[in-house]
Amino acid sequence: MRDARTQIQTALDSLVRETREVAVLARRVESSQVLTNELLDEQRQVSAKIDEREKRERARQLNNSGVMSYHQGSYDASVERFKQATDLDPSLAEAFNNLGLSYTEMGRDEEASVAFQRALELDPAAAHVYNNLGYLYYRKGDLTHAVEMYQRAIQRGADTSSAYTNLANAFYRLKRVDQAVAAWRRALEIDPANHKAAAALERLGLESRPS
């Protein structure tokens, strides 16, 4: 009987040891799986960042290619490039602005307006986009909105001779002559070689500076 009890106890002790060993092994396997999953997640994140960076770089390349087509007068090609760029990088405000410029040259004013507005949503401080949108309104005859856009451009840093010339032209068509004259003179203060502003004042028989 004692031998049987001893054998049973020995078997139980062995079973307990094996159970403990299995538990330890299971914890090690679980820990290894957690570490593997963490490494895989990290690898996926790094890969996603690389893909995103490559997309942004490709978008910039397409935007640059579109600019070349734009300056060559190939507006269909430039639109295609700018749209590809914005598809790859929907945050690329510059490409939306350039898309708006291409549409403007093609007379597709509504699409140009949408593109400019999207550029401003992405970069509200982009003064040149307000200037471009102002020209679009000016060409459509919406002079009040044109003035508003030109003024916003100037307020946001487009304190350029061309911006003031554009503003003056809109003021003049609105018969706000005094404001137009002031804006043309400001344009010439910034750039004395601005022939458009000088010619406008000359047509009115005025000097570039008040006497």
Query: What percent of the chain lies above the pLDDT cut of 90?
Result: 69
Q: What are the residue ranges of helices labelled H in the chain?
A: 2-71, 75-88, 93-105, 109-122, 127-140, 143-155, 161-173, 177-190, 195-203
pLDDT at 157: 82
Maximal CA-CA distance, the chain: 131
Looking at residue 47, its amino acid is S
Q: Under a CB-based contact definition with an 8 Å cutoff, are residues 118 and 91 in contact?
A: no
Count of C-beta atoms within a 10 Å radius of residue 86 = 24
* Per-residue pLDDT reduced to its tens digit, 41-79: 666 675 656 677 898 999 999 999 999 999 999 999 999
Global model pTM greater than 0.75: no
pLDDT of amino acid 152: 95
Alpha carbon 154 to chain centroid distance? 20
CATH homologous superfamily of domain 55-123? Tetratricopeptide repeat domain (1.25.40.10)
Is 1.10.10.60 the CATH classification of the domain at 125-211? no
The DSSP string of 87-114 is HH-TT-HHHHHHHHHHHHHTT-HHHHHH
Q: Which residue has the tokens 């602005």?
A: 97
Least Cα distance to 97 among 124, 57, 137 occurs for 124
Angle between helices 143-155 and 161-173 (to 10 degrees): 160
125-154: pLDDT as tens digits: 999 999 999 999 999 999 999 999 999 999
Amino acid 125: pLDDT: 93
In the chain, where the domains are located: 55-123, 125-211
Q: Evaluate whether 153 touches 169 at the Cβ level (below 8 Å).
A: no
Distances (CA, A) of 164 to 94, 117, 131, 193: 23, 22, 10, 14
